[in-house]
C-alpha cells in the first residue's frame, strides 16, 4: 500500500510496479530540493540515480525509505515494500566509526533490526547474505580488519540479510579503488540478474550506470529525467544536468566510456589568458 | 596468599560499618559502565565529564536556593531528595543539549562549553556559602561514604533495568550507536531513541554524582567501556564485559583502599585507568584479525 498522495488508486492494480511517483516535490523544511519528479520503477529493474552533488539523489532515496515525507505530489510504494521488511539499504561506508569491535557476522545481523527474526532464522539469513557476497569465510573476523572492498561487501550483505526484493544503495562505491568498485557493481548486477532484485543505485560513475543499469534517473537543476538508460544518457541531457559537455561512447573493448569536454561556450570565450581566475 | 587472605579479612571486618558505601559503589560500578558503553561507542568520552559537571552545578544551585535564594529557611530545600533531583535535572539537560547539537557537528564544542560553564558557575553560585563550597569540593573530589541503603536499592534496580533493556533491544541500540542513517532507513525512531538514551545518561550520572562524586562517576562511566572494547571481539560482548570490569576493579579497589587507608573512589579510578591502559597495550600487541 502505501502512500502518500491521492493518485495511489491508479497504480495499485499494476503488480509489476515496485514504486511510482507523480509530480513529487521533496525537500527539508521549506527548502525544496526536487520538484516535478515522475517515474515508475518496475520490479526487476536496475535503476542508477546519477547527477551532480546536492542534486537530490539521496533525498529521493530518503523519501522512498520513508525517512522524509513528500512536500507535494504522490509517491506510491508497493504493499510488500511499504513495511520495509523486504527493503534492503546500503549506506555510504563513511558513516561508520570503529568505536566498537564488531565481527562481520555481527554487523550483518544488524540488517535484521525490526524484522523480529531471531535464533536459527536470523543465523540462516545472515549466512545466506554472507554467502551471496562471498564473505562466508571471514564471518568471524573483525569488520575493521577487512579491506575497503570487503567492508563494502559486508555492508551489502547487511542490506541483503532481510532477503529484500528492493535493494537501495546510496553511493556504496565512494572512496573505493576501481577494482573494488567494479566488484561491487558486478555483485549488485548479479543479484539483479539472478534473483530479480529491484535495484536503486546512487552513483557518480556515469560509465558504470551506462554499463549496468537498465534505467537511469538523471538529476540536475532540481529536476529529474527518468527512463530507459539509452534514452536518458544522451549528451544533451547530461550537458543540461552537469553544465559541461558529457558524452557516453563505446570504448575499444565495447565498454562505455565517458568523455568530458569544456563547459558549453568555453571555446567561444576568447581573450582570457590561461591561469586567470 | 596468606597476606591476601588477611587483607580480605580486614576488609570484611569493616563490612558492618561501611556496607552501604561498598554496595552503592559496586552497584554504580555495574550501572555506570552499562550506560558508559553508549558514550564510548559514540566516541563522546568527554560528554560524561560535562554531564557530571552539570550535575555538580545542579547541586550548587540547590544549595544556593536553600541558603541565600528564595528557598532560604525551608527545611526541604537542603534535603537529599531535593538536591538529588536538581543534580539529575541539570545532568539530563546537559546530556540533551550536547546530544541535540551532535547533528550539526558541534557536539565536541558544546560539550566543552557545558563542562566549562558548569564548572565555573558551580563555584560562583555558592562561593559565599562555606557549607556549599565544602559540598561542591566533596563532589568534585569524590567520596562514597555518605551512601544510604535507599541509594543502594535505587542503583541496583536501575542497573538491572538498564541491563534488561539493553539485552532486549541490543540490536536496535547497537544500530543506533553505530549507524544512525541505516537505523532511520530500517524504520527505527532514531530521534526518540537518542532522546531516551540522553535522558538515561543524565539520570544515571545525576544520581551517581550525588552519592559518589565527579571522579568516581566519570571514571566508572568511561574507563570500563574503554577497557572492554579492547578486550572484546564483538560489540555485544562489550556490554557484558564493561560492567564486569567495573565491578571487579571496584571490588579490588575497595579492599586495597581499606588496607592502605586510602579513599576508595580515587583508588577505584586509579585501578581502572591501569586496567584500561593494560587492555589498550594488550590490543596493540595482539591486534584483532
| Choice among A24-28, A134-138, B56-60, B131-135 with the minimum mean pLDDT | B131-135
For residue B41, the chain A residue with the least C-alpha distance is A99
Q: Could you tell me the three cell numbers for A135?
A: 564473505
Contacts of A28 in chain B (CB under 8 A): none
Spatial separation of the C-alpha atoms in residues B19 and B16, rounded to whole Å: 6
Say how far apart CA A114 and CA B186 lie, in whole Å. Answer: 7
Residue to substitute from B38, B103, B169, B186, interface A, most A β-carbons within 10 A = B186
Interface contact B288-A101, CB threshold 8 A: yes
A142–B contact, CB cutoff 8 A: yes
Q: Are B197 and B245 in contact (CB under 8 A)?
A: no
> Which chain A residues touch B41 with a CB distance below 8 Å?
99-100
pLDDT greater than 50 at residue A186: yes
Contact (CB<8Å) B288/A145: yes
Q: How far apart are alpha carbons B215 and B53 in whole angstroms?
A: 10
CA dihedral defined by B65, B66, B72, B76, rounded to 10 degrees?
130
Interchain contact, B184 vs A67, CB within 8 Å? yes
For residues A59 and A27, the answer to whether their CB atoms sit within 8 Å is yes
Looking at the complex, report in whole angstroms how far the Cα of residue B177 sits from the nearest Cα belonging to chain A: 9
- Is the predicted pLDDT of residue A274 greater than 60, yes or no? no
Q: Determine the residue among B182, B190, B282 to mutate to test chain A binding: the one whose Cβ has the most chain A Cβ atoms within 10 Å.
A: B182
Confidence of residue A270 (pLDDT cuts 50, 70, 90): very low
pLDDT class of A30 with cuts at 50, 70, 90: confident
Q: What is the mean pLDDT of chain B?
A: 89
Among the listed residues B108, B22, B92, B28, the one whose alpha carbon sits nearest the alpha carbon of residue B57: B92
> Across residues B153-170, what is the average pLDDT?
94
Model pLDDT for residues A192-228, shown as the tens digit of each residue: 999 899 999 998 888 888 888 999 999 887 788 999 9
- pLDDT range class, residue B192, cuts 50, 70, 90: very high
Coil vs helix vs strand at B58? helix
Rounded to a whole number of angstroms, the distance between the first and last alpha carbons of chain B is: 38
Cβ neighbours of A126 in B, within 8 Å: none
Give B210's strand partners: none
List the single residue in A67, A96, A168 with the smallest CB-CB distance to B179: A96
**Is the model's pLDDT at A85 over the cut of 80?**
yes
Cβ proximity of B20 and B152 under 8 Å: yes
Angle of the B170-178 helix axis to the B235-260 helix axis, nearest 10: 90
The per-residue pLDDT for B102 is: 58
Residue B244 pLDDT greater than 60, yes or no: yes
Contact B178 A110 (CB under 8 A): yes
CB B86 within 8 A of CB B20: no
Whole-number Å distance between alpha carbons of B210 and B223: 20
Chain Cα centroid distance, residue B220: 6
Contact list, B185 vs chain A (CB under 8 Å): 65, 67, 84, 89, 91, 168
Nearest Cβ partner for B229 among A101, A111, A114: A101
Per the structure block, which three cell numbers stand in for B95?
A: 546530556
Task: Identify the pLDDT of residue B145.
Answer: 65
Give the relative orientation of helices B235-260 and B149-168 as an angle to the nearest 10 degrees. 160
- Closest chain A residue to B178 measured between Cα atoms? A96
Contact with chain B for residue A4, Cβ under 8 A = no
Tell me which residues of chain B have a C-beta less than 8 Å from any C-beta of chain A: 40-43, 171-172, 174-175, 177-188, 229, 232-236, 238, 287-289
Q: Judge: A142–B289 Cβ closer than 8 Å, yes or no.
A: yes
> How far is Cα A58 from Cα B185, in angstroms, rounded to an integer?
12
Mean per-residue pLDDT for B138-154?
Answer: 78
Q: CA torsion A101→A103→A104→A109, rounded to 10°?
A: -100
Residue B81 confidence (pLDDT): 83
User: Assign residue A67 a region: left if phi > 0, alpha if psi is -120 to 50, beta otherwise?
Assistant: alpha
Dihedral of the alpha carbons of B111, B129, B147, B95, in degrees to the nearest 10: -20
Interchain pair A91, B181: CB under 8 A: yes
Question: Which residue in the set A89, A144, A145 is minimally distant from B182, CB to CB?
Answer: A89
- Asked if B172 lies within 8 A of A113 by C-beta distance, the reply is yes
Question: Does the beta-carbon distance from A89 to B185 stay under 8 Å?
Answer: yes
Is pLDDT above 90 for B77? no
* B43, B175, B229: residue with CB nearest A110: B175
**Cβ-Cβ contacts under 8 Å, A116 against chain B:** none
pTM of the model: 0.83
Q: Which residue of B has its CA nearest to A99?
A: B41
What are the pLDDT digits (tens) for A96-110? 778 899 999 999 999
d(CA B32, CA B85): 18
Top residue of A65, A101, A115 to mutate, by most chain B CBs within 10 Å, is A101
Alpha-carbon gap, residue A149 to A151, rounded angstroms: 5
Q: Tell me if chain B has a CB within 8 Å of the CB of A68.
A: no
Residue A268, pLDDT score: 44
Reported as a pLDDT band with limits 50, 70 and 90, residue B101 is: low
At the topology level, CATH places domain B2-282 in ABC transporter involved in vitamin B12 uptake, BtuC (1.10.3470)
- The grid cell for A209 is 550506470
Average confidence (pLDDT) over B201-214: 89
Q: What is the pLDDT of residue B228?
A: 97
Average pLDDT over residues B79-101: 86
Q: For B86-91, what is the mean pLDDT?
A: 92
- Measured between CA atoms, the residue of chain A closest to residue B233 is A101
> pLDDT above 90 covers what percent of chain A?
38
Distance between CA B161 and CA B136 in Å, rounded?
A: 30
**Residues A153-173: pLDDT tens digits?**
899 999 999 999 999 999 888
Residue B104 predicted with pLDDT over 60: no
The tens digit of pLDDT for each residue in A5-29 reads 444 556 666 778 999 999 999 998 8
Q: State yes or no: pLDDT of B260 exceeds 80.
A: yes
pLDDT over 90 (residue B92): yes
| pLDDT bracket for residue A273 (50, 70, 90) | very low
**Chain B CA closest to residue A86:** B186
What ipTM was predicted for this assembly? Answer: 0.82
Collect all residues of chain B within an 8 Å Cβ-Cβ radius of residue A82: none
C-alpha pair distances (Å), A146 with each of A143, A159, A174, A183, A188 = 6, 18, 17, 15, 20
Q: How many CB atoms lie within 10 A of CB A214?
A: 15
B31 CB neighbour count, 10 Å cutoff: 27
Top-ranked range on mean pLDDT: pick from A169-183, B18-32, B69-83: B18-32
In terms of Cβ atoms closer than 10 Å to its own Cβ (0-12, 13-18, 19+), residue B6 is: exposed
For residue B71, pLDDT over 80 is answered with no
> Mean pLDDT across the stretch A76-84?
86
Q: Among A97, A110, A114, select the one facing B174 at the smallest CB separation.
A: A110
Domain residue ranges in chain B:
2-282
**Terminal C-alpha separation, chain A:** 54
For residue B209, pLDDT beyond 90: no
Report the pLDDT value the prediction gives residue B84, as an integer from 0 to 100: 85
- Range of weakest confidence among A193-207, B70-84, B135-149: B135-149
> B171 and A112 in contact by Cβ < 8 A?
yes
Is the Cβ of A112 closer than 8 Å to some Cβ of chain B?
yes
- Environment class of residue B91 by beta-carbon count within 10 Å: exposed (0-12), middle (13-18) or buried (19+)? buried
Cβ contacts (< 8 Å) between A99 and chain B: which residues?
A: 40-43, 177-178, 229
Amino acid at each position: 500500500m502505501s502512500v502518500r498522495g491521492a493518485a495511489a488508486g491508479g497504480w495499485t492494480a499494476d503488480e509489476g510496479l515496485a514504486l511510482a511517483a507523480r509530480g513529487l516535490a521533496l525537500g527539508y523544511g521549506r527548502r525544496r530540493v526536487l520538484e516535478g519528479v515522475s517515474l515508475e520503477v518496475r520490479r526487476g529493474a536496475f535503476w542508477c540515480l546519477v547527477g551532480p552533488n546536492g542534486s537530490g539523489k539521496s533525498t529521493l532515496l530518503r523519501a522512498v525509505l520513508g525517512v522524509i515525507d513528500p512536500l507535494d505530489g504522490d509517491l506510491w510504494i508497493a504493499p510488500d515494500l511499504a513495511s520495509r521488511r523486504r527493503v534492503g539499504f546500503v549506506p555510504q561506508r563513511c558513516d561508520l566509526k570503529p568505536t566498537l569491535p564488531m565481527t562481520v557476522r555481527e554487523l550483518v545481523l544488524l540488517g535484521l533490526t525490526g524484522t523480529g527474526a531471531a535464533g536459527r532464522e536470523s543465523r540462516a539469513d545472515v549466512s545466506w547474505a554472507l554467502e551471496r557476497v562471498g564473505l562466508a569465510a571471514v564471518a568471524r573476523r573483525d569488520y575493521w580488519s577487512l579491506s575497503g572492498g570487503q567492508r563494502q561487501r559486508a555492508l551489502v550483505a547487511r542490506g541483503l540479510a532481510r532477503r529484500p526484493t528492493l535493494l537501495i544503495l546510496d553511493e556504496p562505491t565512494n572512496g573505493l579503488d576501481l577494482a573494488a568498485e567494479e566488484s561491487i557493481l558486478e555483485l549488485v548486477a548479479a543479484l539483479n540478474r539472478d534473483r530479480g532484485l529491484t535495484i536503486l543505485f546512487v552513483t557518480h560513475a556515469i560509465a558504470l550506470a551506462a554499463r549496468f543499469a537498465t534505467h537511469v534517473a538523471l538529476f540536475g537543476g532540481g529536476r529529474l529525467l527518468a527512463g530507459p538508460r539509452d534514452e536518458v544518457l544522451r549528451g544533451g541531457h547530461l550537458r543540461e544536468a552537469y553544465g559541461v559537455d558529457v558524452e557516453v561512447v563505446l570504448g575499444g573493448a565495447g565498454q562505455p566510456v565517458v568523455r568530458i569536454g569544456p563547459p558549453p561556450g568555453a571555446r567561444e570565450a576568447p581573450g582570457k589568458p590561461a591561469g586567470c581566475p | 596468599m596468606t597476606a591476601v587472605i588477611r587483607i580480605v579479612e580486614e576488609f570484611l571486618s569493616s563490612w558492618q560499618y561501611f556496607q552501604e558505601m561498598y554496595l552503592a559503589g559496586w552497584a554504580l560500578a555495574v550501572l555506570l559502565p552499562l550506560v558508559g558503553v553508549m558514550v564510548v561507542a559514540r566516541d563522546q568520552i568527554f560528554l560524561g565529564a560535562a554531564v557530571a559537571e552539570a550535575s555538580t552545578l545542579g547541586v550548587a544551585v540547590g544549595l544556593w536556593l536553600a541558603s541565600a535564594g528564595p528557598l532560604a529557611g525551608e527545611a526541604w530545600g537542603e534535603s537529599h531528595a531535593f538536591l538529588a533531583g536538581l543534580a539529575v535535572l541539570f545532568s539530563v539537560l546537559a546530556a540533551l543539549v550536547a546530544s541535540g547539537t551532535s547533528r550539526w557537528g558541534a557536539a565536541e564544542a558544546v560539550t566543552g562549553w557545558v563542562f566549562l560553564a558548569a564548572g565555573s558557575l558551580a563555584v560562583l553560585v555558592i562561593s559565599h556559602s562555606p557549607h556549599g563550597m565544602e559540598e561542591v569540593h566533596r563532589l568534585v573530589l569524590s567520596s562514597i561514604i555518605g551512601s544510604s541503603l535507599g541509594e543502594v536499592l535505587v542503583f541496583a534496580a536501575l542497573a538491572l533495568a538498564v541491563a534488561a533493556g539493553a539485552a532486549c533491544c541490543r540490536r536496535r541500540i547497537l544500530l543506533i550507536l553505530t549507524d544512525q542513517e541505516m537505523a532511520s532507513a530500517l524504520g527505527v525512531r532514531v530521534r526518540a531513541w537518542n532522546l531516551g538514551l540522553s535522558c538515561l545518561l543524565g539520570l544515571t550520572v545525576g544520581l551517581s554524582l550525588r552519592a559518589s562524586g565527579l571522579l568516581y562517576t566519570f571514571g566508572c562511566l568511561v574507563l570500563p567501556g574503554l577497557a572492554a572494547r579492547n578486550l572484546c571481539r564483538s560489540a555485544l560482548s562489550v556490554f557484558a564485559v564493561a560492567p564486569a570490569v567495573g565491578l571487579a576493579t571496584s571490588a579490588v579497589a575497595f579492599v586495597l583502599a581499606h588496607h592502605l587507608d586510602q579513599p576508595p573512589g580515587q583508588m577505584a579510578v586509579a585501578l581502572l585507568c591501569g586496567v584500561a591502559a593494560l587492555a589498550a597495550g594488550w590490543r596493540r600487541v595482539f591486534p584483532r584479525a
